[in-house]
Amino acid sequence: MKYIFLFLTSFIFAQQTQSVDFKTANGQLFINPKDKTIAGTITYHFNVLQPIDTIKIDAQNMQFTNVKLNDKPVSFTTNGKQLLLIHPFKKGKKWVQFSYEAKPKQTLYFIGSEANANLQIWTQGQGKYTSHWFPSFDDVNEKVVFNLEIVFDKNYQVIANGTLKEKITNGNNTYWRYRMQKPMSSYLLMMAIGKFDKKTQQSSSGVPLEWYYEPKDAAFFESTYRHSEAIFNFLEKEIGVKYPWENYKQVPVRDFLYAGMENTSSTTFSSRYVVDSVGFTDRKYTNVNAHELAHQWFGDLITAESGKHHWLQEGFATYYALLAEKELYGEDYFYSYLYEKAQQLKFASRTDTIPVLNAKASSLTFYEKGAWTLFVLHQKIGDNAFKKAIKNYFKKHAFQSVNTNDFFVEVEKVAAFDTKLFSKVWLEDIKFNTLEANDLLCKNSVIKVQLELDQYRNTPLAEKKNFLMKILQSDVYYTVKESVIFQLRKESYSDIKELLAVAMATKNWSLRQKIANLFPKVPEAFKADYETLLTDASYQTQEIALFQLWNSFENDRIRYLDQSKKWIGFNDYNLRITWLALALNTPNYSADTAALAKELIQYSSLDFEASTRQNALESLIGFQIVTPEVLHNLVNATTHHLWQFSKFARDSIRKLLKDPKYRVGFEELLPELNENEKFQLNRLLVEK
C-alpha cells in the first residue's frame, strides 16, 4: 500500500499547479544560530481552481504544529519531503496557516559565530532547495508573492527580498518586515544576516539601489561595486523593459557556494569579490555583477519552465552581461571574449555529447553556447528586431514560466527567420558551428589578426618570429599578444628573449602575468626583467613572481622575502600565506620560526574562509609543516559545506594516510574530534 500511495500522491502533485494557485505567503521567522535551527509561522493564501483532496507544500525534514485551514484544524501528514494537507478542497479562495521547525542540512548556512563577532547567516536555494529552510515549492512554475518578517538580534542587519516596510526593535530583537509586490519562484527567496553597512544610489529610472558591505571592508567599497550603477542603467535601457522589482540590493557573504545568486531583488555574491583597487585587476566583480542583475529579468521576471530550457536564463544572463562589459570595456573586449569562448566550445564539443536543449547540459553549454546562440541571432535579425522580440517576450510572459518556443514565437513575429533551422544548428546540435562563428568574429579587426596568428601555432619559431614581433610591437588588443606568449611556451629563453623584452615593455599587467608563468624556472639572463613583476599592480602576478624567483635563485631568497614581508594580497591572504611558507623554508631567515608557523597554521583554521584555509593547508602540506593542529584543521575541512574544499581535504588526507606516521597522527586525533569529524575521518581510515 505504501508504494501505491506514493505513486498516487506523485501523480496528484504533478497536477497540483493546474488545480491550485498559491498567491501569497506571509512568514514570521526565528533563527537560532547556536542550534543552527529555524522556526516560524507561515500563512499561505491560495485559490482552488478545481476540486482536489490533497495539497502539498514542499518541506524537507520539518516538524509542523497548529496546522489550520481557514482558521480551523485540518488533517495533515508529512513524508519527510512535503507537508500534505488532506481535505476535500472545493473551488474558491482559501488560506492555510502552520508553525514549523527545522534544522536544515543545506540551503541555510551559519558562518562564523556570535562569540567571535563574525556571524553570518545566509540562504542559497538555487534550483529547488528553498524547501529545506522555508516550506515552499520546488516546482519553479508555482509563483508566489513572498512577504517575510525575520526576527533576530538587534545588533545585526537583516536583508531579504523586496522592500523593508518596517523595522521594530523590541528588547534584544529587531523585527524586520520585508514585502514583495509581484510573484516569484520559491528558489529565489532569500535572507542574509550579518553585521553589514550599506550605501545607496538611485538608477536613472528612479530604482533604489542598496550596496552592502562589512564595516571592515569600507575601504574596498568603491573597487568592489565599481560600475554597479552604470551596469544597472545600461541593462535597463538595453533590455528595453523597466526593472521589474521595487528595489535592488547586493550583499557579499563569506564562503558562498557560487560566484553569485540572483535572488529576486536581492543578489547574494561571494566575498572573494570584495577587493581593493589592486585586487580589482585580477578579481573584478563586473561580470558577475552584470550577470546576476540580468537574471532579474531573465530568470526572475520570466523563468524557464524546466531544466531543458535553462539556457533561457543562463545564456541570456551571460550574453547581456557581456553586452554590459562591451559598454564598459569596448568592442575589442567583447569580441575577444566571444573568440575565447568559441575556442572552448569547439574543443569541448569533441567530447561533450549533450546539446543546449537538454537538462543535463554542462555549464559551459548553458552559459557560453547559450550566449553565443543569442549573439548569432542578434547579428542575423538585426538590433531593432532583436530588441523588439525581447520586449514582446517580456510583455507576453512577465511573471510566468517559459520555454524556448515562447521566445522563438516572438522572434518570428518581428523577423522573417527560420527559428526551427536555427535551433537545430545552435541549440540541438552538439557541434559548435566554427565556420559561422568565425565569419561573425571577423567583423572585428582584432579577431582577424587573432585568426591569422592561430594559423602559426605549429609553425617553427624561426619562420614566424618576425610576424610575432610585429604583433607585439603593434597596438593590437592585448589578448592577441597573450596568444603570442602562448605560442612561445615551449621555446628556449635565448630564442625568444627579444620577443619577451618587447612584451614586458608593454606594461600590460595581463600580458606580463602570462610571461610570469612561462618558465618552470626563471632563466638567469631574464632575472632582472623578471624581478620587475614583483612590483606589478596585481596580487596574482606578485604571488607567481615571488615563488618563481625564490625557487629559481637560492642566493637571493632573503632579498625577495625582505621585499615582500608586508604583503597581504587578496582577502584570502594569498601573498601573506605564500610569504610565510617560503620564509619557513628559507634556512636562517627568521629567528622566530615558531611564530611564523603559528600564523600560517592559524590561516588553516575555522577562523578564516575556505579559500584562505585551503591556501594555507596546501602550503603547510606542500612544505611538510604537518602538526597535529594541521591534521585537525584538515579533518574539519572535510565537513565544510563547500564541496570543492571538502573534496580537497579528503584527497589530501588520503595522500597523507599513505605515510604510516600521518596515519598514526590521524588515529590519535579521533578522541578530540566532534561527531561529524569522526565520521568523515573514520570513512577515510578504512578505505582500501
CATH code of residue 314: 1.10.390.10
> Does the residue 19 lie in any domain?
yes
pLDDT tens, residue by residue, 236-248: 999 999 999 999 9
- Residue 72 makes CB contacts below 8 A (sequence gap 6+) with none
pLDDT at 626 over 50: yes
Do 259 and 322 fall within a single domain? no
Q: Angle CA(68)–CA(12)–CA(127) in degrees, nearest 5?
A: 85
Is 246 found in the same domain as 208? yes
**Per-residue pLDDT at 579 exceeds 90:** yes
24 beta partners = 45, 145
Q: Which residues contact 76 (CB under 8 A, 6 or more apart)?
A: 64, 67, 83, 84, 85, 86, 98
**pLDDT higher than threshold 80 for residue 9:** no
C-alpha–C-alpha distance, residues 378 and 387, integer Å? 9
What is the predicted pLDDT for the residue at 253? 98
Pair 272, 327 in one domain: no
Judge if 85 and 173 occupy the same domain.
yes
Pair 160, 258 in one domain: no
The answer to whether residues 141 and 178 touch, using CB atoms and an 8 Å cutoff, is: no
Q: Grade residue 434 by pLDDT with cuts at 50, 70 and 90.
A: very high
Query: Is residue 209 situated within a structural domain?
Result: yes
Q: Of 193, 220, 236, at which residue does a domain stop?
A: 193
In this prediction, residue 7 carries a pLDDT of 35
Same domain as 99, residue 62: yes
pLDDT in tens, 546-566: 999 999 999 999 999 999 999
The pLDDT of 46-61, averaged and rounded, is 96
Per DSSP, what are the bridge partners of residue 144?
184
In CATH, what number is assigned to the domain containing residue 220?
A: 3.30.2010.30
Q: What mean pLDDT, rounded, does the chain reach?
A: 96
pLDDT at 607: 93
d(C-alpha 322, C-alpha 291), whole Å: 8
Three-state secondary-structure class, residue 176: strand
Is position 471 within any domain? no
Identify each DSSP E strand in 292-404 by its residue range: 302-304, 400-402
pTM beyond cutoff 0.85: yes
**How many domains does the chain contain in total?**
3
- Are 3 and 151 part of one and the same domain? yes
Among residues 408, 428, 443, which one ends one of the domains?
443
Note the pLDDT tens digit of each residue in 83-139: 999 999 999 999 999 999 999 999 999 999 988 889 999 999 987 899 999 999 999
- Is residue 606's pLDDT more than 70? yes
- 84 and 212: one domain? no
Residue 572 lies in a domain: no
Return the half-sphere exposure (C-beta side, CA atoms, 13 A cut-off) of residue 158.
25
Which residue is it, cell 550603477? 229
Spatial separation of the C-alpha atoms in residues 646 and 683, rounded to whole Å: 14
Distance CA 530, CA 508 (A): 14
Q: What is the pLDDT, as a whole number, of residue 22? A: 98
Q: What is the pLDDT of residue 333?
A: 98
Which residue in 405, 415, 345 sits closest to 377, CA to CA? 415
Indicate whether 32 and 130 sit together in one domain. yes
Question: Which letter does DSSP use for residue 298 in this model?
Answer: B
Q: Do residues 137 and 249 both lie within one domain?
A: no
Q: Which residue range is the domain that position 220 belongs to?
A: 196-287
Regarding whether 251 and 325 lie in a shared domain, the answer is no
- The residue out of 443, 462, 477 marking a domain boundary is 443
Mean pLDDT over 17-46 rounds to: 97
Query: What is the helix (H) or strand (E) element at residue 148, kind and residue range?
Result: strand 143-153
Contact 266, 159 (CB under 8 A): yes
Are 205 and 236 spatial neighbours (Cβ–Cβ below 8 Å)? yes
d(C-alpha 155, C-alpha 173), whole Å: 8
Q: CA-based Rg of the chain, rounded to a whole angstrom?
A: 28
Q: What are the angstrom distances between the C-alpha of 295 and each of 104, 243, 367?
A: 26, 11, 12
Is the residue at 281 inside a domain?
yes
Question: In the structure, how many helices (H) and strands (E) does the chain have?
Answer: 29, 23
User: Which pLDDT score is estimated for 239?
Assistant: 98
Q: What is the pLDDT of residues 657-679, one digit of tens each?
A: 999 999 999 999 999 999 999 99
